[in-house]
Amino acid sequence: MASSRTILVAGAGIGGLTASLALAARGFRVVVLEQASRLEETGAGIQLSPNASRVLIRLGLAETLAPVVCVPDVVRVRKASSGRDIVTLPIGRSERYYGAPYWTVHRGDLQAALLAKVRECGDIEIKLGARVDEFAIHPNGVTVAFSGPTGASDVGGIALIGADGLRSQVREKLGDARPPRPAGRAAWRTLLPVQVLAPELRTPSVNLWIGRGAHLVHYPVRGGELVNIVAIATDDTEAPGWSSPASSGEVLQHFPENRWPLGARALIARPERWLRWTLYDRPPLKKWGRGPVTLLGDAAHPMLPFLAQGAAMAIEDAIVLADALAKRPEAPAAALRAYERARRPRDHDVQRAARRNDRFYHLGGPMALARDLVMRVGLGGELMLARYDWIYDWQPPADVLAPEPAPEPA
Ligand SMILES: Cc1cc2nc3c(=O)[nH]c(=O)nc-3n(C[C@H](O)[C@H](O)[C@H](O)COP(=O)(O)OP(=O)(O)OC[C@H]3O[C@@H](n4cnc5c(N)ncnc54)[C@H](O)[C@@H]3O)c2cc1C
């Protein structure tokens, strides 16, 4: 493999795989080092707003994703204590408003689509069971030491992208040894076949119920076959490991009868198995990189899921990174600093906005009443959606990829 055009990527999550595709599309060879010996995504859904779907479409994923994504008509925001609608955001019009759709998708389906595209591409090599331990910067670029079941090895390239998630080893080796901080919130996630839901819950919408100290989100995935349910509540217990099994009873404790309507509680009670995540956060990082090494996605800016933007920001990062390196392939360190300058302000603004939404969703008492009034009367659905224009209307740099092909003549 010609190392003068080889970029090393640590991590084959949504960020690492998207970055690999974007880099290969710009003529780079890519070696992805992934610690897991198999790539499988735990069952959960993900919302992909237009800023992210636009990038995936430009990378050629529209056809593979078409059978598995759902295009919700609205985000329906409901008040937990009364069960009544507060406001309805018309996200079904995203294609017309923002030029790209709002999708909901099973993470496994998204990962499978990215992997299929990666495997079509002769310029990307994925090394599974390869845990990045260390890197050394030298005049020719960077050498990464990794270990796996067959022992230790190393690989060289002109740059290293740490797309290795919340507990990034690359971030630590760049000098940030502080652990992620628990956010005092837990998320429980599960999937149900759509047929088992009550008819009124089978709408092709993103449903968001907000209540004091907790909220509940559900939306269709896998082309409408499954419903993804996420319950988030204030919770200080730190579960060991990445995610841990939980029961409906455990989740229901955070959604008590006196504050949550029967329909929402029945939905939480239905699944036999939930998985619980402790949510973590990190304060914005002043420097993301050094020399030919940088960070991307959760490794650089993990964020609370209250804006559904963590993966979207990793996807945006990926295309900007590829653009920056393609502009200055002979000077990777300068290219990576340009990437960081382009991305840091936006990623950190979104991180902060997600944190604000946490407080906004979980208000109680008079503050909640004021919030609901502002949403229902002061703004309404159209204006509420317009408040997210700065996120959803984001465009990748114009010259990132070749122009889209002209439509076939009729
Ligand atoms: C409850 C919840 C709901 C969410 N909902 C949404 C949503 O609706 N929309 C949205 O956009 N985002 C959402 N997110 C956020 C989103 O899941 C993350 O931001 C996104 O997955 C980050 O992708 P990543 O590729 O940066 O990191 P990861 O997905 O964490 O991938 C990192 C990869 O690196 C590998 N790795 C780690 N260390 C090493 C190492 N030393 N060597 C080699 N490999 C390594 C890991 O095995 C993993 O494969 C949600 C998050 C949560 C918790």
Low-confidence residues in the chain, pLDDT < 50: 1-2, 400-405, 410
Q: What is the pLDDT of residue 164?
A: 98
Residue 151 lies in a domain: yes
Is residue 276 domain-shared with residue 288, that is, in the same domain?
no
Torsion over CA: 73, 77, 83, 85 (sign): negative
Pair (243, 163) in one structural domain: no
CA distance 80 to 38: 40
Q: Are residues 320 and 175 located together in one domain of the fold? A: yes
Please tell me the distance between residue 261's alpha carbon and the centre of ligand 1 in angstroms.
Answer: 32
Predicted confidence (pLDDT) per residue in 162-186, tens digit: 999 999 999 999 999 999 999 999 9
For 328-393, give the DSSP string: -TT-HHHHHHHHHHHHHHHHHHHHHHHHHHHHHHT--HHHHHHHHHIIIIIIHHHHHHHTTHHHHT
Q: 72 CB under 6 A from ligand 1?
A: no
How are beta strands 159-162 and 151-157 bridged, if at all?
Answer: unpaired
Active-site annotation holds for 339: no
In a domain, 118, yes or no: no
User: For the chain, what is the largest distance between any 2 Cα atoms, rounded to a whole number of angstroms?
Assistant: 65
Q: Are residues 193 and 246 in the same domain?
A: yes
Q: What is the pLDDT of residue 409?
A: 54
- Pick the atom of ligand 1 nearest to 45's CA: 8
Q: With 0.75 as the threshold, say if the pTM is over it.
A: yes
The verdict on 27 and 3 lying in the same domain is yes
| Helix-, strand-, coil-residue percentages of the chain, each rounded to 5 | 40, 30, 35
Task: Give me the half-sphere count of Cα atoms (radius 13 Å) on the Cβ side of residue 342.
Answer: 22
- Please check whether residues 102 and 185 belong to one and the same domain: yes
Token pair, residue 159, equals: 């740059």
Q: Residue 408: inside a domain, yes or no?
A: no
Is the beta carbon of 187 within 6 A of some atom in ligand 1?
Answer: yes
| Residue spans of beta strands (DSSP E) within 92-164 | 103-106, 124-128, 131-138, 141-148, 151-157, 159-162
What CATH number does the domain containing 271 carry?
Answer: 3.30.9.30
In the block, which residue shows the tokens 């710009």?
26
Q: At what angle do helices 310-327 and 332-361 cross, to 10 degrees?
A: 160
> Does residue 55 lie in a domain region?
yes
Q: How far apart are CA 382 and CA 23, in angstroms?
A: 37
Residue 400 lies in a domain: no
Q: Are residues 339 and 268 in the same domain?
A: no
- For residue range 267-310, list pLDDT tens digits in order: 999 998 999 999 998 988 999 999 999 999 999 999 999 999 99
φ, ψ for residue 233, nearest 5 deg: -150, 160
Residue 63's H or E segment, with its range, is helix 62-65
Q: What percent of the chain has pLDDT over 90?
A: 77
Q: Whose CA is nearest to atom 51 of ligand 1?
A: 305
User: Closest ligand 1 atom, CA of 132?
Assistant: 42
Q: Output the six-digit token pair for 215.
A: 């909220």
Residue-level pLDDT at 374: 78
Q: Is the beta carbon of 211 within 6 A of some atom in ligand 1?
A: no
CATH number, domain with residue 288? 3.50.50.60
Residue in this structure with the two tokens 């950190």, named with its chain if needed: 348
Residue 401: its pLDDT value, please?
45
Phi and psi dihedrals of 73, rounded to 5?
-80, -40
pLDDT at 255 (0 to 100): 96
In a domain, 310, yes or no: yes
Query: Does the Cβ of 15 fall within 6 Å of ligand 1?
Result: yes
What pLDDT sits at residue 240?
Answer: 60
SS3 401: coil
Distances (CA, A) of 162 to 34, 135, 141, 289, 314: 11, 11, 15, 9, 11
CA dist 269 → 245, 264, 333, 409 (Å): 15, 9, 52, 53
In a domain, 11, yes or no: yes
The HSE-up count of residue 43 (CA atoms within 13 Å, CB side) is 15
Q: What is the pLDDT of residues 369-391, one digit of tens each?
A: 878 877 877 788 888 899 999 99
Question: Does 214 lie in the same domain as 352?
Answer: no
**Does 304 sit in the ligand 1 pocket, CB within 6 Å?**
no
pLDDT of residue 362: 77
Domain limits for position 218: 46-106+181-281+363-394
Please indicate, yes or no, if residue 155 is contained in any of the structural domains: yes
The tally of domains found in the chain comes to 2
Same domain, 268 and 287: no
The pLDDT assigned to 82 comes to 86
Task: Tell whether 263 and 191 lie within a shared domain.
Answer: yes
Are the beta carbons of 75 and 85 closer than 8 angstroms? no
Q: Which helix (H) or strand (E) holds 33?
A: strand 29-34
384 and 268 co-located in one domain: yes
Nearest in space to 31 (alpha carbons), one of 16, 41, 44:
16
Q: Which of 97, 98, 102, 219 is catalytic?
A: 219
Same domain, residue pair 266 and 206 = yes
Alpha-carbon distance of 368 to 212, in angstroms, equals 8
Q: Which atom of ligand 1 is nearest to the CA of 297?
A: 26
